[in-house]
């Protein structure tokens, strides 16, 4: 076999391989299209369900408002400013500031705020006043987790606590979950922020925390 024959043989072989690969790719693409066609209703149904769940989730979202009040720890004589309440007689060190933040975020102070503003009468904080909804994914997940944990728990069931006291603790916890207190940079100022579904209420709660703190 001459060199020209060898070259032609190799070119012919390469062409056949290219043709076979092209045919295999066409078959693979055709198979994929057929699979998609057979499953089109499943795909469309899944997309529709996801779209519906997304719409329901967005519809259930409630706008939130955050208001901020400030207090300033001052070592000199107590003063009162338009946007800052000043607490006198405290050294401006980090430990003191963190200690004051712990007081602001304490359950005792939160309970006073609940009592003064009657927050226990609002469904936002009192779970017993909320409307029951069938579509509650969060509740489903919590219920499932509690059920599974109960199956594998070896602890002896504890007697139920006083329902009124338990509800009171849950209300305080719900209030504290929406509260944030932090120092402003390296200054003596502490920012008290509260988030609520009601714009005016968020401001009232933040200001009440500041007022009761300095009293």
pTM for the full predicted model: 0.58
The per-residue pLDDT for 51 is 81
C-alpha 127/C-alpha 168 separation (Å) is: 10
HSE value, Cβ hemisphere, 13 Å, CA-based, for 1:
7
- Along the 215 residues of the chain, how does pLDDT read in single tens digits? 545 554 454 555 666 666 666 666 665 666 777 777 777 787 788 888 888 777 666 656 678 899 999 998 865 444 444 344 455 555 557 778 888 999 999 999 999 999 999 999 999 999 988 876 655 555 555 555 555 555 554 445 455 568 889 999 999 999 999 999 999 888 889 999 999 999 999 999 999 999 999 88
Strands 84-88 and 65-74: parallel
Burial class (CB in 10 A: 0-12, 13-18, 19+), 93: exposed
Asked whether the beta carbons of 119 and 171 are under 8 A apart, the reply is yes
């Amino acid at each position: 076999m001459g060199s020209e024959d060898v070259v032609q043989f190799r070119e012919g072989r390469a062409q056949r391989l290219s043709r076979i690969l092209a045919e295999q790719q066409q078959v693979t693409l055709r198979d994929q299209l057929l699979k998609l066609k057979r499953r089109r209703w499943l795909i469309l149904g899944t997309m529709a369900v996801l779209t519906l769940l997304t719409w329901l989730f967005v519809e259930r979202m409630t706008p939130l408002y955050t208001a901020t009040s400030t207090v300033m720890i001052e070592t000199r004589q107590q003063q009162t400013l338009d946007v800052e309440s000043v607490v006198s007689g405290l050294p401006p060190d980090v430990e003191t500031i963190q200690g004051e933040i712990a007081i602001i975020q304490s359950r005792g102070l939160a309970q006073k705020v609940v009592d003064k503003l009657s927050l226990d009468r609002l469904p936002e904080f009192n779970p017993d006043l909320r409307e029951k909804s069938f579509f509650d994914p969060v509740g489903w997940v919590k219920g499932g987790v509690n059920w599974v944990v109960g199956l594998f728990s070896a602890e002896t069931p504890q007697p139920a606590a006083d329902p009124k006291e338990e509800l009171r603790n849950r209300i305080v916890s719900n209030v504290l979950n929406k509260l944030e207190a932090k120092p402003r940079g390296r200054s003596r100022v502490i920012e008290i922020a509260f988030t609520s579904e009601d714009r005016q209420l968020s401001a009232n709660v933040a200001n009440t925390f500041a007022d009761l703190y300095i009293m």
